[in-house]
Homo-oligomer: A and B are copies of this chain.
Amino acid sequence: MSGIPPSLEKLAELMAKFPGIGRKSARRIAFSLLDRPREDIILLARAFLDVKDNVRRCPVCNHITESEPCDICQNPRRDSSVICVVKDSMDVLAIEKTTVFHGKYHVLGGLISPLNGIGPDDLSIEPLLIRAKEIHELVFAINSSVEGEMTMHYIRKMLSNCPVSISYLARGIPIGSDLEFVDDATLARALQSRIELKGE
């Protein structure tokens, strides 16, 4: 487009490939560089390469890490007999933030999705099946989307001969939500899974 310096357009193009960044915000980011000191930009360029060079997948749980195994896998105070299975590393962070889970994790790296050509072999499922033999409980913290259900079903099937107890996150009304804003499927599930109010 007329009026955009080529190097700026090039950067905007590269930035727009990142998740959640559209063409317009990619340009806005590129533009904003002009008002920032060169040292900041060097730091940033360096930070991109540092992540690429230092961060890898934990060989045990597949979570991102700079140490091998990762901090969570290494932590002796965490319960090794419970594994929480999640889609990606962002989910580990979300669960860690709640501070209520004290077991370990397994990051699948995606969900089975035949439409997108993602099969079980593209995910970290085989290592999970091996780990599952040594634990008491496996908790699925996975969305109940078509892909999520498919993935949970596949793993459950593969573990049918394994004595591990399998659970999944409770489905129901989000805390603080008004009933009128909850979707039908969630409301139906919350009704079916209603919890008895016990007397004193």
Contact = CB atoms under 8 A, between A and B. Distances in A.
A180 interface: no
A28 B19 contact: yes
A89 B28 contact: no
Interface stretch (A6-14, A138-146, A155-163, A183-191): A6-14
A57 interface: yes
B42 A3 contact: no
Interface in A1-55: 1-8, 10-11, 14-15, 18-21, 25, 27-34, 36, 38, 40-55
Contacts of A56: 34
A11 B64 contact: no
A66 B30 CA distance: 14
A1 B47 contact: no
Interface range on chain A: under 10, 10 to 19, 20 to 34, or 35 or more?
35 or more
Q: How many chain copies does the complex carry?
A: 2
A1 B95 CA distance: 12
A43 B112 CA distance: 31
A100 interface: no
B10 A54 contact: no
A176 to B, nearest CB: 19
Contact of A32 (B19, B36, B49, B50): B19
Interface in A57-110: 57, 63-66, 70-72, 88-90, 92-93, 96-97
Ranked 5 nearest A-B pairs via Cβ: A45-B45, A5-B66, A11-B47, A7-B50, A20-B25
